[in-house]
Amino acid sequence: MTSLPLIPVDPDAPGARRAAMPPQHLADLDLAGRKDLVTKLGESAFRARQISTHYFGRLVRDPAQMTDLPASSRDRLADQLLPRLLTPVRELACDDGATRKALWRLHDGSLVESVLMGYPDRVTVCISSQAGCGMACPFCATGQAGLTRNLSTAEIVDQAVYLAGVAASGKVAGSPPRLSHVVFMGMGEPLANYNRVIAAIRRLVAPAPEGLGLSQRHITVSTVGLVPAIHRLASEDLSVTLALSLHAPDDELRDELVPVNQRWKVCEVLDAAWAYAARTGRRVSIEYAMIKDVNDQPWRADLLGRLLAGKLAHVNLIPLNPTPGSRWDASPKPVEREFVRRLRDAGVSTTVRDTRGREIDGACGQLAAAEDSGTDPAGEMTA
């Protein structure tokens, strides 16, 4: 049994860690806030719109390319509104370049990762919301190192904007050049950094120049099941998809696999998920890592089927990704197929996730942000 994680659910609560946050960036602010800031700097308010158009609309961050801004104020505006938040350390690629994992160093030396996945009809980025994670799921590489700190809104948004630039550069062969989907499934528990994640979603979906202009329906927020935060998310009037990392249908096992279950039990977490589905009309994605001889027994498939039958839910089975030194293994394929069959027989929509990025430790549960993974870099990231 793993002890309860110590991270506060609300990072803005008294006592929450606030240290080492980065300088303010335009993506921390809405357009009105940017206009206020620019005005305080002695510039015309419309400069905020111009610089925002470069960043969100044209994916340009180099002041030298912002030739519609007067040379006398360009660098000063860029210093104040576009401080460098992410320094590319390494980019690894696999799947013929269609999957790319980026490792970034933050201003305080923290390391985070993001993954870009190109498909024929869409480009998805998986972004991190925290440096590390305090949720301590024992099968997850990120969870083993603990939480370093929450990311700022702009640090979260900048991962997507940067990788949108990589997609726009045509580096992801066989995929459209425009980023279309964002999943909060990288490092961290998004709902434990609630306010900043919600602000980041609002930037991602606001049309340019306020934001990146993505569809709300193309954003997925993953959680291990922080019940009060799920209810709060439902009240935001956002049509984002909720992905619930369930991983076990019974409390005895889930208490071990997802330690936060010691606080909010399976029935409470599922009730919150159904409340979210009812409020938003969005189908909830139930994430279930298939772990050999741990959670893959036929009786657990039947129990999961009974819990989900008739609900607005889809099960996404995830073949467990190997992590160095882990005692956990992926379920054998015949066991996985039987699990799928039983869920479908119960009337539950079920698919098995592909294992994109496995070779570069970019798959689910593998993001550990090690600076030296022993793998050769695929090249410097250029957006």
Give catalytic residues, as residue numbers.
Answer: 113, 364
Say whether residue 115 binds ligand SF4 (CB under 6 A). Answer: no
Please identify, among the stretches 10-18, 133-141, 159-167, 226-234, the one whose residues bind ligand SF4 according to the rule CB under 6 A.
133-141
Instruction: State yes or no: residue 243 binds ligand SF4 (CB under 6 A).
Output: no
256 binds ligand SF4 (CB under 6 A): no
Q: Which H or E element spans position 254?
A: helix 251-257
Asked if 140 interacts with ligand SF4 (CB under 6 A), we say yes
Binders of ligand SF4 among 215-234, rule CB under 6 A? 224
Residue 382 CB neighbours (<10 A) = 11
Give the burial string for 291-308 (b: 16+ CB within 10 Å, else e): beebbbeeebbbbbbebb
**CB nearer ligand SF4, residue 143 or residue 165:** 143
Contact between 133 and ligand SF4 (CB under 6 A)?
A: yes
Q: Is 280 in the site for ligand SF4 (CB under 6 A)?
A: no
Residue 148 tokens read as: 């370093």
- Rounded CA separation 295/289 (Å): 8
Query: Is residue 9 close enough to count as binding ligand SF4 by CB under 6 A?
Result: no
CB-facing half-sphere around the CA of 33: CA atoms within 13 A: 13
Question: Is 137 annotated as ligand-binding?
Answer: yes
Contacting residue, 142, 220, 323, 331, with ligand SF4 by CB under 6 A: 142
Q: How far apart are CA 276 and CA 260, in angstroms?
A: 19
* Count of CB atoms situated within 10 Å of the CB of 127: 30
126 is in an annotated binding site: no
Among 103, 137, 233, 266, binds ligand SF4 (CB under 6 A): 137
CB-based contact 142:367 (threshold 8 Å)? yes
Please check if 244 is assigned to a binding site: no
What order do you get walking across the sheet with 87-94 strand by strand?
Answer: 87-94, 99-105, 111-118, 123-126, 181-184, 219-223, 241-245, 284-290, 313-319, 349-352
Shortest distance (Å) from residue 248 CB to ligand SF4: 13
The annotation places the binding site for S-adenosyl-L-methionine at: 188-189, 222, 245-247, 321
Point out which residues bind ligand SF4 (CB under 6 A): 133, 135-137, 140, 142-143, 187-189, 224, 365
